[in-house]
Chains A and B, each alone.
Chain A
Amino acid sequence: SQQGEEDPQALSIQEGENATMNCSYKTSINNLQWYRQNSGRGLVHLILIRSNEREKHSGRLRVTLDTSKKSSSLLITASRAADTASYFCATSFVQGAQKLVFGQGTRLTINP
């Protein structure tokens, strides 16, 4: 499978703390993306990092990419109760065209 795998599967922290989620994948990619899903809703795109980039920031989000280890991490700083959701990494690679495959996700709970 060329699917990304997130670690941990579930994470529970206190509001204000930082949350780190990891993603590993198996093949060469064009880019790696992170998405968020609130319960019962569709996924929302958070950030995209290209294969030639090592780090990217967006607000309280920081994403790193290590292509030699085929891994990425998502850091959410100063977490808020509203950050409670599932977070997915998705790898985009060329197989005919740009295939987008998701991992199993990390369930993040922020305790007030």
Chain B
Amino acid sequence: DAGVIQSPRHEVTEMGQEVTLRCKPISGHDYLFWYRQTMMRGLELLIYFNNNVPIDDSGMPEDRFSAKMPNASFSTLKIQPSEPRDSAVYFCASSLGGESAFFGQGTRLTVV
């Protein structure tokens, strides 16, 4: 398996634009997590899914953020409209049974 795959690796966008981050988890994993990492706030859990169902989205900062998992092999995190304070590295991770999580390489988002 190629591991957790995130795209794009880097994204630079203008304030107000829509941003979509993508994630392909490891095949067979039943948990998928979205995290955001900044120097100020560390690694924040935004939302996580179990068997494609969102379980807890209490970490999603605002209604501008939304996440979907239409099937077991794909998830998206969307920000609309984007703001400069959304600039961060966004990580997707997957695990089996909620145990050891495998992380993607992250998407570095810059909103100017």
Contacts and interface: CB of A to CB of B under 8 A. Distances in A.
Interface string A89-110: 0101001111111111100000
Contact of A42 (B31, B56, B106): B106
Interface in A6-55: 30-31, 33, 35, 41-45, 48
Nearest to A93: B98
B75 interface: no
7 contacts: A33-B101, A42-B4, A92-B98, A99-B55, A100-B93, A102-B35, A104-B43
Interface string B84-112: 00000001010101111111111000000
A30 B48 CA distance: 17
Contacts of B43: 43, 88, 102, 104-105
Given A42-B105, A104-B42, A30 B98 contact: yes
B98 A98 contact: yes
Q: Is the interface of A mostly helix, strand, loop or mixed?
A: strand
Interface of B: 4, 31, 33, 35, 42-43, 45, 48, 50, 55-56, 91, 93, 95, 97-106
Given A30-B98, A45-B102, 12 more contacts: A42-B105, A43-B93, A48-B100, A90-B101, A97-B98, A99-B56, A100-B33, A100-B45, A100-B48, A101-B45, A102-B35, A103-B42
A92 B35 CA distance: 15
Contacts of B50: 96-98
